[in-house]
Amino acid sequence: MEYDIPAIVQGYARGYFLMANEEPGNSDVGWYSSRERAIVPLDDRFRYPRSLRRVLHQERFGIAVNRAFEYVVEGGADRETTWISPKLKRIYTALHQAGWAHSFETWQGDRLAGGILGIAIGGAFIGESMFYRVPEASKVAMVKLVERMRERGFMLFDAQLMNPHLARFGAYTLNEKKYQRMLARALARHCSLL
């Protein structure tokens, strides 16, 4: 099935994000926005628990980008209620094949331990989902992704909707107007996770 990739990328670049309807039997995918956006800081406001520092120092996980993209999509969708429908999985795969969607992964040997799925446009990374199969794996992925984004000159890590897990990393909310200004500045940059 063909998707209009430039139109989808343009939707994200305008501050919208895709979600599937969560009602059983309804697989429609639509564009959504939010009056407040959750932002993971890329400056010194980013923080994480001391216990996670120990895990990072122990180097329990290896890091990879796009090594197991489809499995990260599946991991993000593997929950009781999910906004990642089969149709949305196919859209993410098409975006990945076109170079826009990426998976940032943690590994233990040959085992995928966790990961983060997102769309990278210019200096913006729009996080779509995260998951773990090994405790602490998605948290390590978050820390290592932020480090990578800092190194590569990214300006914006958009986590879309706030939750207690993101708040532990110093995530904060921006109103739509401020978010749009930050997004516009980030889109003007030329960055790559690879």
Q: What is the mean pLDDT of the chain?
A: 93
Q: Which amino acid is at 77?
A: A
Task: Provide the 3-class DSSP secondary structure of residue 12.
Answer: helix
State residue 45's pLDDT score: 95
Question: What value does the mean pLDDT take over residues 55-67?
Answer: 96
Give how far the C-alpha of residue 71 lies from the chain's centroid of Cα atoms, to the nearest Å. 14
* Arithmetic mean of pLDDT, 51-71: 95
Tens-place pLDDT, residues 113-138 = 999 999 999 999 999 999 999 999 99
More confident: 146 or 1: 146
Report DSSP state, residue 46.
Answer: -
* 184 or 80, greater pLDDT: 184
Residue 1 has pLDDT above 70, yes or no: no
Q: Contact, 103 vs 93, CB < 8 A?
A: no
Is the model's pLDDT at 22 over the cut of 70? no
Long-range contacts of 48-56 (CB under 8 A, 24+ apart): 48/139, 48/142, 48/143, 48/168, 48/169, 49/168, 52/136, 52/139, 52/140, 52/143, 55/136, 55/139, 55/140, 56/140, 56/143
What are the respective helix, strand and coil percentages of the chain, to the nearest 5?
35, 25, 35
Confidence at residue 25, expressed as pLDDT on a 0 to 100 scale: 58
Q: Which residue has the tokens 């956006």?
A: 37
Distance CA 191, CA 178 (A): 21
Q: What is the pLDDT of residues 69-90, one digit of tens each?
A: 999 999 988 877 777 888 999 9
Q: What percent of the chain has pLDDT over 70?
A: 96
Residue 142 pLDDT: 96
Query: Which whole number is the average pLDDT over 99-104?
Result: 98
- The predicted pLDDT at position 46 comes to 97
Q: In this structure, which topology does domain 5-187 adopt according to CATH?
A: Aminopeptidase (3.40.630)
